[in-house]
Amino acid sequence: METLEGILAEHPFLHGLARPHLELIVGCASNVRFDPGQFLFHEGEEADRFYIIRHGRVRVELFAPGRGPITIQTVDDGDILGWSWMLAPYQWHFDAQAVELTRAIALDGECLRAKFERDHDLGYEVLKRFAQIMQQRLDATRLQLLDLYGNSR
């Protein structure tokens, strides 16, 4: 049977992390599952965790009055979801809803923040990895904003 530690050690996001650091992170992790249509979080709620999606698909959406929910992006197998747990005031900025049955590993934000405060090397390692994801998402968002397919090829 796959252990949480084994799964996390092999995940690209945490790959190469020093063993003691990995063990600290595993201490904040738990398995979760969401049925289709179930919300992982809502805008404005306390951002108390982030997710490593194992299987499934989650849409990140924003509700616009008169237009309903607008999907901004989807995340699926292997993706990381959520970084608001790192930044005060620790509130979600969007809604996240499972499109299909989704299994994920949830990592407790408060638990992680406490460990980062005690071990800055761990905090720096994880922040570097989140910075890469943020950069990828920012690039992707900028491309989306360009509306590339709108006028000419």
Partner 1 sequence: MATVAETAQRAPVPEPMVPALYQIQKVRRETHDTFTLDIRPQVQGSIPRFAPGQFNMLYAYGTGEVPISISGDPADTARMVHTIRAVGAVSRALCELKPGGVLGVRGPFGSHWPVDESAGADMVLVAGGIGLAPLRPALYRLLAERGRYGRVVLLYGARTPEDILFHRELKQWRAQFDLEVHVTVDRATSKWQGSVGVVTTLIRKASFDPPSTVALVCGPEVMMRFTIGELQRRGLATESIFLSMERNMKCGIGLCGHCQYGPTFICKDGPVYPYPRIAPAFATREI
What are the distances in angstroms from CA 149 to CA 12, 15, 87, 143?
A: 31, 36, 34, 10
68 versus 89: smaller Cβ distance to partner 1: 68
Among 11, 57, 103, 113, binds partner 1 (CB under 8 A): 57
Closest approach, Cβ 123 to partner 1, in A, equals 26
Query: Which range in 97-105, 106-114, 117-125, 126-134 contacts partner 1 by CB under 8 A?
Result: 97-105
State how far the Cα of 133 lies from the Cα of 136, in Å rounded to an integer. Answer: 5
56 versus 109: smaller Cβ distance to partner 1: 56
74 lies in the site for partner 1, by CB under 8 A: yes
Closest approach, Cβ 74 to partner 1, in A, equals 5
Confirm if 56 and 104 have CB atoms less than 8 A apart.
yes
Confirm if 82 and 47 have CB atoms less than 8 A apart.
yes
Q: What is the SS3 assignment for 71?
A: strand
35 lies in the site for partner 1, by CB under 8 A: no
CA dihedral (85, 90, 94, 98) positive or negative? positive
**How many chain residues touch partner 1 (CB under 8 A)?**
29
144 lies in the site for partner 1, by CB under 8 A: yes
Phi, psi of 4 (to 5 degrees): -60, -40
Residue ranges binding partner 1 (CB under 8 A): 57, 59, 61, 68-74, 76-78, 97, 99-100, 136, 139-140, 143-144, 146-153
